[in-house]
């Protein structure tokens, strides 16, 4: 009688040579039923061992058999839609995902276990390749637990194969957009794990998809808001960690620096998040976040004064030209972010005062072709900083009296200074009757 291991060995050799497509096309369903039976039997043994709190009598043989089964399945579905459909219809995808989770639970890092996990992920990647139905089936079974688990492995091959499966399931721009926004973003832990594995160029793409989602004006549930706040925490942390990367753009050669582009996109997303009341209150209270925004504005402003670069205020544009540099508008967005974080928030208003942020914002309120609408965002920020805050009002009034603040700039903000009882007051300009 032929043993299960011998049947698997024959099948592996049968499908081993990729060039023999004929063999794969002629494979009978019974072969895959046998493999399914072996995998289900292995799953049962492992589950029983967990249940009885005992070790498998022959774990090495069990792992070797599982690896060989997945090698066979992996080889059999290469460029073969027929076998992909048969495997899916038999339930091999759901069985495989379940077995992978069991293998992870063994909690050992022996090479046989790693080999079994690698082969299983390769199978999922191959069965999903070019097959939308299989991709959907894997997504339903594996999201988010399997992806999150495998992306956290220290084994580089397991991480690489997991990424292969994940990106195969996100196989087109449209599907990627829908899945990322409707499914992936519901799991902040997976986004965080995936973000760590992506290249900078891929991070920019992910951030653009997040931007599209947070820009939606649809009402959200309290659960969805909690998820977005966790995303906000993570993205704010990324910005705080990498914000100095944008200074690489001060050189002409740095205009294509991908790490700096990630920083720019992070700021764009955070500006949009602070435009939402629910997320705004959360980010307003985030330790060190406002300080980071002010310090980044100071660094870029200083860099623009020390040498001529993209952060240098310029009025050279004629209106016919267009600046395509990725850092155009970066300082405008920083001021927008600071203004948002100070909206009806006395504590943050006072922080900006203590960090000398008000003179810094006023120094950036002139027209600057490298920062479109910077004047408007400065107006917005100053209004938020001075709303019901007499100390900030007095500081700006004193600056105007000493010539440190441009009176025309204040007027453009709808503000003017007035002296009352030897005290300077900043107040709104009253419109003259027409």
Q: Is the pLDDT of residue 17 over 50?
A: no
The CATH number of the domain holding residue 90 is 1.25.10.10
| 235 three-state secondary structure | helix
**pLDDT band for position 251 (50/70/90)?**
confident
Residues 169 and 262 in one domain: no
Instruction: Read off the pLDDT of residues 113-154 as tens digits, 9 standing for 90 and up.
Output: 999 999 999 999 999 999 989 998 998 898 888 888 888 888
Tokens for 129, please give them: 């390749």
Residue 237 belongs to a domain: yes
Residue 427 belongs to a domain: no
**pLDDT band for position 289 (50/70/90)?**
very high
Residue 206's alpha-carbon distances to 189, 327, 415, 434, in angstroms, are 15, 19, 41, 51
The CATH number of the domain holding residue 258 is 1.25.10
Q: Is the pLDDT of residue 418 over 50?
A: yes
Instruction: Read off the pLDDT of residues 77-109 as tens digits, 9 standing for 90 and up.
Output: 988 999 999 999 999 999 999 999 999 877 666
| Residue 415 or 293, more confident | 293
Residue 80 belongs to a domain: yes
Q: Is the pLDDT of residue 354 over 90?
A: yes
Q: Is the pLDDT of residue 416 over 70?
A: no
Residue 217 belongs to a domain: no
Residues 22 and 161 in one domain: yes
Tokens for 24, please give them: 């794969």
Residue 104 belongs to a domain: yes
* Cβ pair 238, 259 in contact under 8 A: no
Structural domain that includes position 129: 1-173
Q: Pick from 206-210, 232-236, 410-414 the range whose average pLDDT is largest.
A: 232-236
Question: Residue 279: which of 330, 230, 343 has the closest Cα?
Answer: 230
Name the DSSP class of 418.
E
Question: Residue 46: which of 68, 62, 69 has the closest Cα?
Answer: 62
pLDDT given at position 104: 86
Question: What is the number of domains present in the chain?
Answer: 2
Task: Give the domain-ending residue among 123, 149, 173.
Answer: 173
Residues 235 and 164 in one domain: no
Question: Residue 78: which of 126, 46, 30 has the closest Cα?
Answer: 126
Task: Give the domain-ending residue among 353, 375, 391.
Answer: 391
Residue 148 belongs to a domain: yes
Residue 422 belongs to a domain: no
Residues 150 and 266 in one domain: no
Residues 166 and 238 in one domain: no
Residues 139 and 262 in one domain: no
Residues 4 and 142 in one domain: yes
Residues 236 and 143 in one domain: no
Residue 95 belongs to a domain: yes
- Give me the residue label for tokens 């990424």: 163
**pLDDT band for position 359 (50/70/90)?**
very high
* Cβ pair 309, 347 in contact under 8 A: no
Residues 242 and 384 in one domain: yes
The reply to whether the predicted model has a pTM over 0.75 is: no
Alpha-carbon dihedral sign for residues 52, 55, 57, 58: positive
| Residue 6 or 152, more confident | 152
Task: Give the domain-ending residue among 173, 188, 206.
Answer: 173
pLDDT given at position 194: 82
Residues 262 and 371 in one domain: yes
Residues 126 and 242 in one domain: no
Residues 35 and 115 in one domain: yes
């Amino acid at each position: 009688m032929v043993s299960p291991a011998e049947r698997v060995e024959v099948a592996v050799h049968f499908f081993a040579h990729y060039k023999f497509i004929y063999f794969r096309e002629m494979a009978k369903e019974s072969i895959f039923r046998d493999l399914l039976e072996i995998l289900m039997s292995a799953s049962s043994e492992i589950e029983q061992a967990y249940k009885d709190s005992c070790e498998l009598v022959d774990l090495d043989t069990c792992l070797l058999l599982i690896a060989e089964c997945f090698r066979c399945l992996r080889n059999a579905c290469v460029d073969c839609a027929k076998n992909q459909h048969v495997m899916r219809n038999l339930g091999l995808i759901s069985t495989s995902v379940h077995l992978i989770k069991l293998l992870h639970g063994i909690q050992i890092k022996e090479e046989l276990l790693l080999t079994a996990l690698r082969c299983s992920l390769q199978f999922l990647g191959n069965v999903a390749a070019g097959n939308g139905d299989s991709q959907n089936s894997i997504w339903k079974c594996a999201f988010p637990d399997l992806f999150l688990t495998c992306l956290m492995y220290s084994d580089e091959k397991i991480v690489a194969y997991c990424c292969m499966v994940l990106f195969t399931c996100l196989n087109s721009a449209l599907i990627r957009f829908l899945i990322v926004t409707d499914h992936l973003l519901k799991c902040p832990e997976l986004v965080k794990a995936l973000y760590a594995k992506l290249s900078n160029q891929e991070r920019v793409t992910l951030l653009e998809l997040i931007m599209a989602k947070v820009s939606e004006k649809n009402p959200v549930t309290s659960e969805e808001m909690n998820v977005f706040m966790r995303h906000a925490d993570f993205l704010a942390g990324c910005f705080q960690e990498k914000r100095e990367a944008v200074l690489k753009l001060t050189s002409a050669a740095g205009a294509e620096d991908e790490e700096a582009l990630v920083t720019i996109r992070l700021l764009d997303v955070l500006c949009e998040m602070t435009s939402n009341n629910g997320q705004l209150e959360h980010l307003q209270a985030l330790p060190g976040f406002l300080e980071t925004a002010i310090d980044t504005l100071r660094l870029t402003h200083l860099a623009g004064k020390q040498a001529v670069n993209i952060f240098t205020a310029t009025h050279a544009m004629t209106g016919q030209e267009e600046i395509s540099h990725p850092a155009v508008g970066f300082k405008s967005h920083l001021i927008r972010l600071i203004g948002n974080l100070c909206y009806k928030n006395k504590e943050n208003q006072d922080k900006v005062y203590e960090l000398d942020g008000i003179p810094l914002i006023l120094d950036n309120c002139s027209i600057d072709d490298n920062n479109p609408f910077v004047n408007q965002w400065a107006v917005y920020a100053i209004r938020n900083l001075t709303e019901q805050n007499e100390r900030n009002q007095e500081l700006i009034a004193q600056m105007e009296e000493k010539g440190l603040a441009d009176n025309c700039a204040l007027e453009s903000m709808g503000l003017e200074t007035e002296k009352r009882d030897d005290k300077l007051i900043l107040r709104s300009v009253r419109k003259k009757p027409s």
